[in-house]
Each structure stands twice: as structure tokens, then as C-alpha cells.
Amino acid sequence: MERELVQSINPMRIQWCLDDRGVDVATCAAETGIGEKTLLKALTGVPALSFNQLNKLAGYFGRGVLFFLESAPVVEAKVHSPAFRTLANQKPELSPKLRVLIQRVERQREVFVSLREDLDEEAAPKFQAPRLNRGDVESAAATVRKWLNLGPKNSFPTYREAIEAKGILVFRSNGYAGKWQIAKENPILGFSLYDAECPVIFVKKTRYESRQSFTLMHELAHVLLDRRSWIDDEDDLYGDSEAEQTANKFAGLVLVPPSFLDEIRDRDRPSDVSGYDAWLEPQRDQWGVSTEVILRRLHNARRLSKENYLAYRRYAKRHESETEDASGGSRYRSREPKHVFGEPFVRLVLDAVNAQRITLNRASTYLDSLKISDLKMLEQHCAGL
């Protein structure tokens, strides 16, 4: 029996998606599994795609199926949000996959906000920014540290939990290949999507969580101080622009306030930078930060020369081994949505299922296409069973 082909597909919208993502028909065909001849035929306006093929195409471009059935031409201002355009303008060279990832994050936020309103969920607080003086970064960092209720011992998970408790979603990329991954070779470390009700911070997963802590607080600075969307690569975190320097200073002060530096004894500092990691290991473990963050704070406090700080950076770069971490892989597939989207997002989706507001299949879609069996395991994990 012949497959039924979808009628009235707008070929101009397929072409727009190809151009927007920066791929040709051959690449699209190879990555979606749809025949190149079939796609070329669809681009002429002739019915050629089945619903399953159109659904694959929609998923590949990060769109809904109905997007390709609208007869009107694409209006980019309506398709791309102001936040997306802000990031795209900051980084015109953004890879096609990263552009799709940003749009995917925006849709997840929309899902979260919609479910929160539908459930009137008190456990998912709305964001209310603290009043900060951007001109006084030291005071702002101290205020935010109190606002987050941070204790003396922390790690990336506790920093993330504290920020999420204030109504900010914190997503982290997959540690393995997937649609929520930022490729290892991509220099982007994180981005923030500002929204008055529900900002989102996205952090690239790295082997060492202490590096993620700094990226997280750097993006928080853009949310709280700049109140605009932002995207940062490795160079930006060492950039000399006012905004980046302010964000770096803020992040350092939140993670390592002045009182923490009193615990470090300068007389114990090794003469060779290769010994700095061992020297600062107790503080790194206690504060959940990297050696470099502590050294930067010591340099800013005029307790470490710029020469020694830069020498350590060169040393660390030579010895860096940023291999992908296997945690959260197929063995823990049921827990991966929690690693990626955070507990508030996952709990809200599960609550919506239990309240019969959405189906299990819909929940699976929201939770990275998790299998139903894994979804039930995730629910048990979140319930502490």
C-alpha cells in the first residue's frame, strides 16, 4: 500500500529553514534519513513527504509540523525571539546546531511557564530580581550571595539548586552526543536568555564541574546586572569589555567572597605554578571552584602577581584534558533529563502527568524523548524511592 503524502507543504518554508540553519539539501537528507531526491521534489512544491518524514524534518529544524503547512512566507521577527536575535547578533558565527539549541531552550522555557500557570504550582517560584547597584560590584555580589542563601561549602549542584530556587531555570548540556549537547570543539561555554518572569541559564557540561560553577555565576551576572540575554565563549570569559569584566568580577566575588581568602596562607604558596593545584585543593573542594578562580581573586586582592597568575593559566592550558564525562550516559538514561533540565523542570512535568494535565507521551516529549519505562524510573528517583 502506498504511503499517504502530506499535502499543502510550503516549500518556501523548507528553503528558509535550510538557509537559516546553513545547510544544503544533501546535508539535510543525510542527517534526517530522508532521501535527497524526495527533499528536492518537496522543494518544488510537489507532495513528496509522508507525515513521519515531515515530522523528522520539523524536529531537525526545531520547528513544529504546522510551521511547514502555513501558506504565508516566514517573518523572521516572528519566528526568532528578541532574545535569540540578541545572541545571534552577538555571535553571527554561531553554528547551525547551536542556533537550533537556543531555540529549543526557549521552547522548554515556554513549556515550563505554561505548566506552572496551569498547575498554579507554588513549588516553582517566579523570578524576582534583587535590587542591585551595578556600579558597586562588591556590594552586588554580597547581596546576591545572601539572596541565594549560600553556605560555606558548595559545588556546582548546590549553586544550581540555589539559583533554581529563585525562579531561574538552569540547563546543562548533555555530556554525550545528543540534541542538548554543545560539541566539545565548540568554544561556547554558556548563555543566558533573559525574561522578566523566568530567565534561563544554559551551561556547557565539562569534565570538571568547578569550571561550570564559574560559567554559571558569570551568566547569572548578565541576568541580574545587565538584565539582557547573553552568550559567552572561552575568549569572552577573559575579555576586556566592561560587561565581561564586570561579570567576571561578580562571579569571582560570589564564589569566593573576601572573607574566604583569609583561609589561604601566602607563605605556603609553592614557588612553581605546577604546585598551585595541590596548594589550593582544600579550598577548591570546599568552595566548588577551580584553582584559576581562586588565583584570580588573589590577584585582584593584590596577593598574587599577574605574572604568576598568567603563568598558571599557561601551565593549566598545557595540561588540560577536557574529555567528555560518561556520567549521565545510557546507564543512567532515566536521570539524564534531571541533569539537563534541572529538578524544578522535571518535577513540574511529572506533577502535570499526575494531575492528568498532560499524557505520558507528552511528558516524554518534554523530557528529551525519554522512554515510558525510563520516565517511571525518573519519577521514582525524584521521589527518593
Length of the chain: 385
DSSP character for 319? Answer: H
| C-alpha cell at position 38 | 524526495
Closest CA relative to residue 290, chosen from 215, 370, 380, 349: 215
Per-residue pLDDT tens digits for 324-339: 443 444 457 889 999 9
Q: What radius of gyration, in Å, describes the C-alpha atoms of the chain?
A: 23
Per-residue pLDDT tens digits for 103-140: 899 999 999 999 999 887 665 788 999 999 989 999 99
Q: What is the pLDDT of residue 329?
A: 47
Note whether 172 and 368 are within 8 A (CB).
Answer: no
Q: What is the pLDDT of residue 95?
A: 85
Q: What is the pLDDT of residue 349?
A: 95
**CA 88 to CA 91: how far, in whole Å?**
5
Query: 372: exposed, middle or buried (C-beta count within 10 Å: 0-12, 13-18, 19+)?
Result: exposed
The one-letter amino acid code at 71 reads S
Q: What is the pLDDT of residue 89?
A: 87
Q: What is the pLDDT of residue 16?
A: 92
Closest CA relative to residue 68, chosen from 82, 80, 53, 81: 53
Note whether 242 and 317 are within 8 A (CB).
Answer: no
Q: What is the pLDDT of residue 145?
A: 97
| C-alpha cell at position 243 | 560587561
Q: Which residues of the chain have pLDDT under 70?
A: 1-3, 121-123, 321-331, 385
| DSSP for 106-141, written as a single string | HHHHHHHHHHHHHHT-TTSPPP-PPP--TT-HHHHH
Mean pLDDT of the chain: 90
Question: Which H or E element spans position 233?
Answer: strand 230-233
